[in-house]
């Protein structure tokens, strides 16, 4: 039984970030519970990443990819060497979601791409009459992109009830808070206005997230579903929380040790 324990996933993220001296820790930490709940309780992965009947997890906000790597590592789809040699020359795991890695469905990093591909996957499943579902994790900053709203329009118009959009609303984007940079207002109200079954949830409360996803999947209406998960960028390590520098800062021996200590029971 895979537990997808959030503290353990965050420790894996730290292990990668420290090994590779990489950035984007804050936006990986904000989606840990979202991915944990989806991988633990909702994704039907069949025989593995190449199973054509699998459910899809599309990480449209590809900057948080270390959180997904941590989940794939727990699934056994990535090895310890993948984690410990992160960013070493000639290795396969990149700093942004990359569809060549089994288990990652899209190539992201340029924002506003993944959701459309996820919409296409959901439409393919709908047309084939399978019960496959597509969960797409989109950032709130990413929602500045016009293509996100093109995809939202399309998903509602084509009644893609097998699409579950989860917004990681951590309140930050590259250069500041979303309120400062490009105020998004209420994303759930916007998504509801576009025709989605839309709910808000605490993005770090696994029971609440799980209930929201269950409610979304239980909605009988032929419409796409959305959960706006309100999260904290850098969640889990006190000196990283709500500090946008951890979008860019690399770990030192000291910060790494302190962060691991906070995440170790």
- Which residues make up the interface to other proteins (CB under 8 A)? 52, 99-100, 105-107, 110, 112-125, 127-128, 146-147, 150-151, 153-154, 157-158
Of the pair 10, 113, the CB lying nearest other proteins is at 113
Give 211-226 as a DSSP string. Answer: HHHHHHHH--SSS-EE
> CA dihedral defined by 85, 15, 93, 46, rounded to 10 degrees?
120
Q: How far is the CB of 99 from other proteins (least distance, A)?
A: 5
Of the pair 128, 245, the CB lying nearest other proteins is at 128
- By C-alpha distance, which of 71, 73, 94 is closest to 83? 73
By the 10 Å C-beta count (0-12 exposed, 13-18 middle, 19+ buried), 170 is classed as: buried
Of the pair 87, 120, the CB lying nearest other proteins is at 120
Of the pair 59, 259, the CB lying nearest other proteins is at 59
Q: How far is the CB of 65 from other proteins (least distance, A)?
A: 15
Q: How far is the CB of 116 from other proteins (least distance, A)?
A: 2
What are the residues whose beta carbons fall under 8 Å from the beta carbon of 120, sequence distance 6 or more? none
Q: How far is the CB of 95 from other proteins (least distance, A)?
A: 15
What is the phi/psi pair of residue 227, to 5°? -125, 120
Q: How far is the CB of 62 from other proteins (least distance, A)?
A: 10
Of the pair 127, 261, the CB lying nearest other proteins is at 127
Q: In DSSP terms, which residues pair with 173 in a beta bridge?
A: 176
DSSP designation for 101: S
């Amino acid at each position: 039984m895979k537990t997808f324990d959030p503290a353990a996933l965050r420790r894996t993220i730290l292990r990668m970030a420290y090994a590779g001296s990489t950035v984007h820790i804050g936006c990986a930490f904000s989606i840990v519970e979202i991915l944990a709940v989806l991988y633990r309780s909702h994704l039907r992965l069949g025989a593995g990443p190449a199973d054509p009947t699998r459910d899809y997890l599309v990480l449209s906000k590809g900057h948080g990819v270390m959180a997904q790597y941590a989940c794939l590592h727990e699934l056994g789809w990535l090895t310890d060497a993948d984690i410990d040699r992160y960013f070493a020359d000639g290795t396969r795991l990149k700093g942004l979601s990359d569809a060549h890695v089994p288990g990652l469905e899209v190539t992201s990093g340029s924002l506003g791409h993944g959701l459309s591909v996820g919409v296409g996957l959901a439409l393919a499943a709908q047309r084939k009459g399978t019960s496959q579902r597509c969960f797409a994790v989109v950032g709130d900053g990413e929602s500045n992109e016009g293509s996100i709203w093109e995809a939202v329009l399309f998903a509602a118009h084509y009644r893609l009830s097998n699409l579950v959009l989860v917004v990681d609303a951590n309140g930050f984007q590259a250069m500041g808070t979303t309120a400062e940079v490009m105020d998004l207002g209420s994303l759930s109200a916007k998504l509801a206005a576009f025709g989605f079954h839309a709910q808000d949830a605490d993005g770090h409360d696994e029971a609440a997230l799980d209930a929201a996803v269950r409610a979304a999947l239980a909605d009988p209406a032929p419409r796409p579903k959305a959960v706006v998960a309100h999260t904290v960028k850098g969640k889990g390590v006190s000196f990283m929380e709500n500090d946008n520098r951890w979008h860019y800062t690399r770990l030192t021996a000291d910060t790494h040790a302190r962060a691991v200590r906070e995440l170790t029971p």
